[in-house]
Structure 1
């Protein structure tokens, strides 16, 4: 059985590892796109919108609702990618818990 000092050292190391992984994740960019890539959204790993681009073919002043829907779709896909990467990265660390 591990002594408490070893458990504390491992917990501190894991915390440092998690902070490092979170910083690496925040520095990554994730891009999501709507159907046919008509709208793309790029977000940072800390969920900040960095860019939204529109294919000129989709910009119809008489149909802004479709543009809004595609924008939301692109942002949501980028958020899904962030969630997947977060789960993959942080899940690997959770498997190293000493207790």
Structure 2
């Protein structure tokens, strides 16, 4: 029974850490860029788009396809950074908690 008590205590600690992590991710913003910084995209830690910045030199009809590609690339860059931040925060939230073999978080 002592093992069960320890597991419940660990689960409560993990739940508190997960809530802290979610609040931190909501407040975090990451920036992705492409085209040598000509296009920048800011996402929250939850993946919500906050801002798009476009260099004025790309704002003409002849550069439309280039701009579209750069927007997609900047978003992909920002999304990758968000995922890396989430993985890092998840590692911190679950530090010191032993899970049964094969069990992964989040459930």
TM-score between the two structures when normalised by the length of structure 1: 0.90
**When the two structures are aligned, how many residues end up with a matched partner?**
99
CA deviation profile, 1:9-42 (whole Å, cap 9, x unmatched): 1101101111111210121110011021110000
Matched, 1:38 2:72: no
**CA–CA separation in structure 2 for the residues paired with 1:95 and 1:2:** 21
Change (3 A) 1:82 1:43: same
Summarize the alignment of residues 67-86 of structure 1 with structure 2, pairs less than 5 Å apart. Answer: 67-86=67-86
CA drift of 1:2 comes to 4.5
Structure 1: where are the runs of 5+ without partners?
none
Q: Relative to 1, partners in 2 of residues 1:35 and 1:2: Cα closer, same or farther, differing over 3 Å? A: farther
Q: CA deviation at 1:80?
A: 0.8
Whole-angstrom CA distance in 2 between matches of 1:37 and 1:64 = 17
TM-score (norm 2): 0.83
Report SS of the residue matched to 1:37: coil
Residue 93 (structure 1) shift? 2.7
Partners of 1:98 and 1:84 in 2: how far apart? Answer: 22
Give deviations 1:36-60, integer Å, cap 9, x for gaps: 1110000111100001010001112
Partners of 1:62 and 1:98 in 2: CA distance:
57
State the distance in 1 between where 2:98 and 2:84 align.
Answer: 24
